[in-house]
């Protein structure tokens, strides 16, 4: 500017020292100023007023970092940097902001030797211009770096992700696109199209917004999600109903108002048929399950019953054999109960003995109807009396071995017709019932299934 | 019948409406692109039956020149456009626009269930005006406010629409969950509390809550909702300033296109094979380095003290 080429050449000759000294001096001044004011200027701004103002302009245009703003405010009563007009951090303009921020930081960080070297390189130009240009150049370099950096932090390029294994990239959301959220434009668009709600009656638009945002913790949880939707709509219905009643708008459809519906009768019929089908299916399956369970249970009951019967039979047989032994041997058991039982049986048996007493022995042998046991008893006696061939005891019993063999193979007599009727059995009318002789008299035996169920 | 009722009711309470008030006029042009599936078509049909102020148009035979829709809307006197764009015979995108000047919102439509397949027992008058119920989250962000306004104008039936019926018997719910907009349609069913009809088979979990009815001593009614259908979920993708054109003023960063998802899945499967082959190759090389392969690889150095060398 003011300096001529000659002067600059002189400077060149004297060189650096002069410059450096000058700068040092200015730096000292700057420090003094810094001491005076709390905020301060760095060495770079002190050189020319021109440069300072330019730098300030840059700063003023930019909403800098907190410390910057503070500095600016105190320094020259400039009006504070405009508050960020942006709410969202992901704005288009953000990047440019960051760029300028970085420039500012650069200004701060400039070192003296650096600047000296730069000045030397551009001696033809005036100092101030040279300074500013050099700064800008550096800024330009830095800008490129800065532009890439934030993206590198936030977004992972898609190409990187593709090379990853599918398991690894589960959590990473690929951000290949730039987010655009132009709030100002959105608001403008909204204002352009929105209805004048404050002037309108509620019945004109019929739209209700909930007071609280609907909170759905887990979208995958179908039941709770649908319940939240349902509640939201229900609350809206209640509110709207009151408002519409206030405005005198017809709300519910009268019963006699018939009109076309959204779903045709045919469609509703289909839905009903499906509901009925579903219900019937449910009922049928429940019934089938019940039957299965019953069947399983019935089988158990039947088995238990058979076992019980078998046990009963075993018990009676045991008792009978006990009795037999008691009759043959002396007293095997001496329990009271058994005695009682024996007495009764003896009493019952005595008359048959008496009956048979006068009869000839052949008749006794032939009378199978009265019971095998009694005939056996009789034959045993006869055997004993006829001759002690088997080495029996004194009381007319055959010996033990003979008894065993008799019981195993049977003894004597004819085995045929043992079960056929004889005069006595056919004269016995105890089992006869006139009721049973009639056509449907005795009730029929139930089927297996029903018997199982009844028990 | 509706016309008769309208004339009667208008004669009865017509004096309430101020004469100077401007009518709200909404007409929706509703159409789809070519290549829709039957479910997409049924959804269109369902929405058409729920919106008496809509005009259904033949399929639109272009996916690139969507601005032609503006002329179409003008032709049919519509100031809203609801356009369904099907891609690849499976993905459905919904465009909603205020016809001449915008804005336009593009959604991805997912989880679509039409009335026909849902078998809900709810039903409502064809042409009755819906209540619109919005989640409070719609007021939180600028782009959602725009979307809400569009919904209000497109799905809300104006009072003066031609085929409109006078009662309010269904409600449309718009809820934001998981960054998506979930839409449900319910019938408002009122039952007298004495004889409580359990008509709501689907919504058995929600018991009707009594609401006091204020007007002239009528009995109080229980209000409950029965879902009508259809159900669908919208993911906003892009908002344009003009109608089917103009600068993009919002773009959803989190939206991943279904193509991307499908290709990721495919790539995942392919990657499995690639990894396995790579591993086998590595194993082979390792074995070769250890001198375990019969062919190729590194040969073991001969031991200078082995018998073969010493007694050769």
Q: Do A263 and B142 touch (CB under 8 A)?
A: no
- Cα–Cα distance, B271 to A356 (Å, whole number): 105
Q: Do B168 and A251 touch (CB under 8 A)?
A: yes
Residue partners of B110: CB distance under 8 A and separation at least 6: B180, B232, B233, B234, B235
**Chain A residues in contact with B130 (beta carbon < 8 A):** 206
| Of A74-83, A234-243, B39-48, the least confident | A74-83
Question: Is B113 among the domain residues?
Answer: yes
Count of domains forming chain A? 2
Same domain for B234 and B93: yes
- Cα–Cα distance, B16 to B10 (Å, whole number): 9
- Within 231-250 of A, beta carbons closer than 8 Å to B belong to 231-238, 240-242, 244-245, 247-250
Same domain for B123 and B59: yes
Nearest to A238 among B138, B159, B223 (CB): B223
What is residue A280's predicted lDDT score, i.e. its pLDDT? 96
DSSP A45: G
**Chain B residues in contact with A277 (beta carbon < 8 A):** none
Question: Is A430 among the domain residues?
Answer: no
Question: Is A128 among the domain residues?
Answer: no
First to last CA, chain A: 124
Q: Do B203 and A230 touch (CB under 8 A)?
A: yes
Same domain for A273 and A223: no
Peptide bond into A430 cis (omega under 30): no
Token pair of B253 as six digits: 């960063």
Distances (CA, A) of B214 to A28, A248, B170, B223: 84, 11, 20, 14
Q: What DSSP element (H or E) covers A247?
A: helix A222-247
**Chain B residues in contact with A190 (beta carbon < 8 A):** 142, 145-146, 149
What is residue B34's predicted lDDT score, i.e. its pLDDT? 93
pLDDT for A53-73, tens place per residue? 444 444 444 444 434 444 444
Same domain for B92 and B124: yes
What is residue A361's predicted lDDT score, i.e. its pLDDT? 41
**Chain B residues in contact with A163 (beta carbon < 8 A):** none
| Of A115-129, A338-352, B87-101, the least confident | A115-129
Question: Is A374 among the domain residues?
Answer: no
Helix H, strand E, coil C: the string for chain B is CHHHHHHHHHHHHHHHCCCCCCCCCCCEEEEEECCCCHHHHHHHHHHHHHCCCEEECCCECCCCCCCHHHHHHHHCCCCEEEEEEEECCCEEEEEEEECCCCCEEEEEEEEEECHHHHCCCCCCECCECCEEEECHHHHCCHHHHHHHHHHHHHHCCCCCCCCCECCCCEEEEEEEECCEEEEEEEEEEEECCCCCCCCCCCCCCCCCEEECCCHHHCCCEEEEEEECCCEEEEEEEEEEEECCEEEEEEECCCCCCHHHHHHHHHHHHHHHHHHHHHHHHHHHHHHHHCCCCCCCCCCCCCCCCCHHHHCC
Distances (CA, A) of A265 to A84, A259, A270, B118, B201: 60, 11, 8, 16, 19
- Cα–Cα distance, A322 to A14 (Å, whole number): 147
Across the range B262-273, mean pLDDT stands at: 89
Same domain for A235 and A197: yes
Q: Which residues of A84-108 are buried (b: 16+ CB within 10 A; e: fewer)?
A: eebeeeebeeeeeebbbbbbbebbe
What is residue B307's predicted lDDT score, i.e. its pLDDT? 84
Nearest to B268 among A166, A226, A231 (CB): A166
Q: Do A205 and B228 touch (CB under 8 A)?
A: no
Nearest to A241 among B125, B126, B211 (CB): B211
Nearest-CA residue of chain A relative to B51? A262
Q: A160: closest CA among A172, A178, A177?
A: A172
Q: Do A213 and B136 touch (CB under 8 A)?
A: yes
**Chain B residues in contact with A282 (beta carbon < 8 A):** none
Confidence of residue A426 (pLDDT cuts 50, 70, 90): confident
Would the pLDDT of A151 be above 80?
no
What is residue B192's predicted lDDT score, i.e. its pLDDT? 75
Contact, A112 vs A119, CB < 8 A? no
CB pairs under 8 A between A and B: 243
Distances (CA, A) of A359 to A205, A345, A412: 120, 22, 19
DSSP A255: T
Question: Is A415 among the domain residues?
Answer: no
Distances (CA, A) of A345 to A145, A312, A319, A340, A348: 121, 19, 12, 9, 5
Same domain for B278 and B224: no
Confidence of residue A363 (pLDDT cuts 50, 70, 90): very low
Would the pLDDT of B245 be above 70?
yes
DSSP A390: T
ipTM given for this complex: 0.80
Residue B53's CB is within 10 A of a number of other CB atoms, namely 22
Q: B84: closest CA among B76, B95, B73?
A: B95
Q: What 3-state class would DSSP assign to A124?
A: coil
Burial level of A374, CB count in 10 A (0-12/13-18/19+)? Answer: middle
Mutate to test the interface with B, among A180, A233, A255, A261 (most CBs of B within 10 A): A233
Same domain for B277 and B224: no
Nearest to A225 among B177, B224, B272 (CB): B177
Question: Is B123 among the domain residues?
Answer: yes
Nearest to A190 among B145, B156, B275 (CB): B145
**Chain B residues in contact with A195 (beta carbon < 8 A):** 24, 149, 152-153
Q: What 3-state class would DSSP assign to A261?
A: strand
Which tops the pLDDT comparison, B307 or A365?
B307
Would the pLDDT of A52 be above 90?
no
How far does B262 lie from chain A, in Å, by closest CA? 13
Q: B176: closest CA among A294, A215, A135, A414?
A: A215
How far does B28 lie from chain A, in Å, by closest CA? 15
What is residue B190's predicted lDDT score, i.e. its pLDDT? 87
Count of domains forming chain B? 2
Question: Is B146 among the domain residues?
Answer: yes
pLDDT for B288-308, tens place per residue? 888 787 777 677 677 888 888
- Within 1-30 of A, beta carbons closer than 8 Å to B belong to none
**Chain B residues in contact with A257 (beta carbon < 8 A):** 1, 5, 167
Q: Do A207 and B134 touch (CB under 8 A)?
A: yes
**Chain A residues in contact with B210 (beta carbon < 8 A):** none
Q: Do B168 and A240 touch (CB under 8 A)?
A: yes
Token pair of A313 as six digits: 């039979």
Same domain for B283 and B161: no
| Of A359-368, A395-404, B35-44, the least confident | A359-368
Confidence of residue A128 (pLDDT cuts 50, 70, 90): very low
Nearest to B253 among A179, A194, A232 (CB): A179
pLDDT for A75-120, tens place per residue? 444 444 444 443 444 444 444 444 444 444 444 444 444 444 444 4
* Chain B contact for A282 (CB, 8 A cutoff): no
Q: Tell which of A247, A280, A296 closes a domain.
A: A247
Q: Where are the beta strands (DSSP E) in A173-223?
A: 180-181, 207-209
Provide the residue range defining the domain that includes B164.
Answer: 28-196+219-253
Same domain for A242 and A283: no
* Chain B contact for A194 (CB, 8 A cutoff): yes
**For all residues of chain A together, what is the average pLDDT?**
66
Q: Tell which of A247, A282, A300 closes a domain.
A: A247
* Chain B contact for A423 (CB, 8 A cutoff): no
Q: Which residues of B60-79 are buried (b: 16+ CB within 10 A; e: fewer)?
A: beeeeebeebbebbeeeebb
* Chain B contact for A432 (CB, 8 A cutoff): no
**Chain A residues in contact with B250 (beta carbon < 8 A):** 180-182, 186
What is residue B154's predicted lDDT score, i.e. its pLDDT? 94
- Cα–Cα distance, A241 to B55 (Å, whole number): 29
Provide the residue range defining the domain that includes A304.
Answer: 263-323
How far does A198 lie from chain B, in Å, by closest CA? 13
Q: Identify the residue whose tokens are 């887990």.
A: A218
Question: Is B242 among the domain residues?
Answer: yes
What is residue A273's predicted lDDT score, i.e. its pLDDT? 94
Question: Is A201 among the domain residues?
Answer: yes
Residue A269's CB is within 10 A of a number of other CB atoms, namely 11
Q: Tell which of A281, A298, A323 closes a domain.
A: A323
- Cα–Cα distance, B249 to A402 (Å, whole number): 120
Across the range A383-390, mean pLDDT stands at: 43
pLDDT for A164-206, tens place per residue? 444 555 555 555 556 778 899 999 999 999 989 888 899 999 9
What is residue B111's predicted lDDT score, i.e. its pLDDT? 93
Across the range A121-135, mean pLDDT stands at: 40
| Of A351-360, A429-438, B215-224, the least confident | A351-360
Question: Is A284 among the domain residues?
Answer: yes
Residue partners of B257: CB distance under 8 A and separation at least 6: B108
Same domain for B276 and B156: no
Same domain for B92 and B70: yes
Nearest-CA residue of chain B relative to A206? B131
Same domain for B269 and B178: no
What is residue A99's predicted lDDT score, i.e. its pLDDT? 42
Token pair of B77 as six digits: 């006197």
Across the range A377-393, mean pLDDT stands at: 44
Task: List helix spans (H) across A155-182.
Answer: 158-163
Would the pLDDT of A146 be above 50?
no
What is residue A174's predicted lDDT score, i.e. its pLDDT? 53
- Cα–Cα distance, B288 to B15 (Å, whole number): 98
- Cα–Cα distance, A299 to B50 (Å, whole number): 59
How far does B266 lie from chain A, in Å, by closest CA? 10
**Chain B residues in contact with A250 (beta carbon < 8 A):** 9, 166-168
Would the pLDDT of B196 be above 50?
no
Contact, A442 vs A435, CB < 8 A? yes
Token pair of B80 as six digits: 């809203």
Residue A81's CB is within 10 A of a number of other CB atoms, namely 17
Token pair of A137 as six digits: 């150049």
Nearest-CA residue of chain B relative to A173? B254
Question: Is A211 among the domain residues?
Answer: yes
Same domain for B86 and B172: yes
Would the pTM count as exceeding 0.80? no
What is residue A428's predicted lDDT score, i.e. its pLDDT? 87
Mutate to test the interface with A, among B50, B121, B131 (most CBs of A within 10 A): B131
Confidence of residue A37 (pLDDT cuts 50, 70, 90): low
What is residue A105's predicted lDDT score, i.e. its pLDDT? 43
Q: Where are the beta strands (DSSP E) in A140-183?
A: 180-181
What is residue B297's predicted lDDT score, i.e. its pLDDT? 67
- Cα–Cα distance, A453 to B74 (Å, whole number): 79
Would the pLDDT of A133 be above 80?
no
Q: Do A250 and B145 touch (CB under 8 A)?
A: no
Token pair of B50 as six digits: 């729920």
What is residue A36's predicted lDDT score, i.e. its pLDDT? 67
Question: Is B56 among the domain residues?
Answer: yes
- C-alpha B78, offset from chain centre: 22
What is residue A342's predicted lDDT score, i.e. its pLDDT? 53
**Chain B residues in contact with A205 (beta carbon < 8 A):** 24, 132, 152, 156
What is residue B200's predicted lDDT score, i.e. its pLDDT? 42
Same domain for B71 and B186: yes
How far does A243 lie from chain B, in Å, by closest CA? 11
Torsion of CA A195, A198, A202, A204, to 10 degrees: -30
Question: Is B16 among the domain residues?
Answer: no
pLDDT for A203-227, tens place per residue? 999 999 999 898 888 989 999 999 9
Q: Do B124 and A183 touch (CB under 8 A)?
A: no
Mutate to test the interface with A, among B177, B185, B207, B217 (most CBs of A within 10 A): B177
Question: Is B55 among the domain residues?
Answer: yes
Token pair of A103 as six digits: 């420039």
Contact, A46 vs A27, CB < 8 A? yes
Contact, B99 vs B29, CB < 8 A? yes
Residue partners of A272: CB distance under 8 A and separation at least 6: B121
Q: Do B133 and A261 touch (CB under 8 A)?
A: no
Question: Is B47 among the domain residues?
Answer: yes
Q: Do A208 and B223 touch (CB under 8 A)?
A: no
Same domain for B269 and B177: no
Would the pLDDT of B131 be above 70?
yes
Contact, A47 vs A127, CB < 8 A? yes
Q: Do A189 and B103 touch (CB under 8 A)?
A: yes
Question: Is A386 among the domain residues?
Answer: no
pLDDT for A289-311, tens place per residue? 999 999 999 999 999 999 999 99
Torsion of CA A134, A135, A141, A143, to 10 degrees: -150
DSSP A419: T
Q: Do A253 and B125 touch (CB under 8 A)?
A: yes
């Amino acid at each position: 500017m003011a300096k001529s080429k000659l002067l600059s050449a002189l400077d060149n000759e004297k060189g650096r020292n002069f410059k450096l000294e000058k700068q040092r001096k200015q730096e000292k001044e700057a420090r003094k100023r810094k001491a005076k004011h709390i905020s301060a200027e760095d060495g770079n701004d002190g050189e020319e007023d021109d440069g300072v103002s330019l730098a300030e302009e840059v700063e003023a245009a930019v909403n800098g970092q907190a410390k910057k703003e503070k500095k600016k405010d105190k320094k020259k009563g400039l009006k504070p940097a405009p508050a960020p007009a942006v709410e969202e951090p992901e704005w288009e303009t953000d990047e440019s902001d960051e760029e300028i921020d970085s420039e500012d930081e650069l200004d701060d960080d400039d070192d003296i030797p650096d600047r000296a070297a730069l000045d030397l390189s551009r001696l033809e130009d005036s100092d101030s211009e040279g300074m500013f240009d050099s700064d800008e150049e550096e800024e330009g370099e830095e800008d490129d770096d800065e532009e890439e950096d934030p993206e590198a932090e936030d977004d992972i390029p898609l190409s990187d992700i593709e090379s990853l294994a599918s398991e690894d990239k589960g959590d990473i959301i690929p951000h290949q696109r730039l987010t655009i959220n132009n709030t100002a434009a959105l608001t403008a668009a909204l204002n352009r199209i929105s209805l004048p709600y404050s002037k309108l009656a509620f019945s004109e638009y019929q739209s209700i917004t909930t007071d609280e945002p609907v909170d759905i913790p887990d979208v995958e949880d179908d039941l709770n999600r649908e319940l939240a939707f349902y509640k939201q709509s229900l609350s809206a219905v209640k509110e709207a109903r009151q408002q519409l009643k206030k405005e005198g708008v017809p709300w519910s459809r009268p019963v006699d108002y018939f009109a076309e519906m959204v779903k045709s009768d045919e469609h509703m019929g289909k839905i009903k048929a499906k509901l009925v089908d579903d219900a019937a299916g449910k009922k049928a399956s429940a019934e089938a399950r019940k039957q299965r369970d019953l069947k399983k249970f019935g089988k158990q009951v039947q088995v238990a019953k058979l076992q019980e019967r078998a046990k009963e039979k075993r018990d009676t047989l045991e008792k009978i054999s006990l009795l037999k032994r008691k009759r043959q041997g002396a007293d095997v058991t001496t329990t009271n109960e058994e005695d009682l039982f024996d007495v009764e049986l003896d009493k019952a048996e005595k008359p048959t003995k008496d009956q048979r007493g006068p009869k000839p022995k052949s008749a006794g042998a032939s009378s199978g109807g009265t019971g095998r046991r009694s005939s056996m008893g009789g034959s045993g006696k006869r055997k004993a009396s006829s001759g002690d061939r088997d080495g029996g005891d004194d009381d007319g019993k055959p010996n033990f071995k003979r008894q065993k063999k008799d019981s195993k193979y049977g003894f004597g007599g004819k085995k045929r017709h043992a079960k056929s009727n004889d005069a006595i059995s056919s004269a016995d009318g105890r089992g006869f019932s006139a009721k049973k002789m009639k056509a449907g008299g005795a009730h029929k035996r139930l089927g297996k299934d029903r018997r199982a169920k009844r028990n | 019948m509706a016309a008769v009722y309208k004339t009667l009711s208008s004669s009865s309470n017509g004096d309430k409406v101020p004469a100077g008030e401007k009518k709200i006029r909404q007409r929706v042009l509703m159409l789809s692109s070519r290549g829709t599936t039957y479910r997409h078509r049924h959804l269109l049909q369902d929405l058409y039956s729920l919106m008496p102020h809509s005009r259904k148009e033949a399929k639109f035979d272009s996916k690139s020149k969507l601005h032609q829709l503006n002329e179409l809307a003008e032709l049919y006197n519509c100031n809203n456009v609801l356009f369904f764009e099907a891609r690849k015979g499976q993905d459905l995108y919904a465009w909603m626009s205020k016809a001449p000047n915008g804005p336009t919102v593009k959604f991805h439509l997912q989880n679509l269930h039409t009335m026909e397949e849902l078998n809900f027992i709810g039903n409502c008058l064809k042409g009755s005006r819906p209540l619109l119920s919005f989640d409070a989250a719609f007021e939180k962000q600028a782009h959602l406010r725009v979307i809400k306004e569009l919904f209000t104008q497109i799905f809300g039936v104006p009072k003066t629409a031609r085929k409109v019926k006078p009662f309010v018997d269904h409600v449309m719910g718009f809820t934001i969950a998981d960054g998506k907009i979930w839409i449900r349609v319910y019938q408002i069913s009122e039952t007298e509390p004495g004889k409580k009809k359990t008509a709501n088979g689907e919504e058995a979990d929600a018991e009707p809550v009594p609401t006091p009815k204020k007007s002239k001593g009528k009995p109080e009614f229980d209000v409950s909702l029965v879902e009508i259908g259809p159900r669908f979920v919208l993911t906003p993708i892009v908002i344009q300033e003009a109608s089917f054109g103009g600068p993009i003023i919002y773009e959803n960063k989190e939206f991943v296109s279904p193509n991307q998802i499908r290709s990721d899945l495919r790539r995942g499967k392919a990657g499995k094979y690639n990894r396995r082959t790579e591993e086998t190759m590595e194993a082979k090389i390792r074995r070769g380095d250890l001198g375990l392969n019969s062919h190729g690889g590194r040969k073991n150095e001969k031991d200078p003290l082995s018998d073969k060398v010493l007694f050769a």
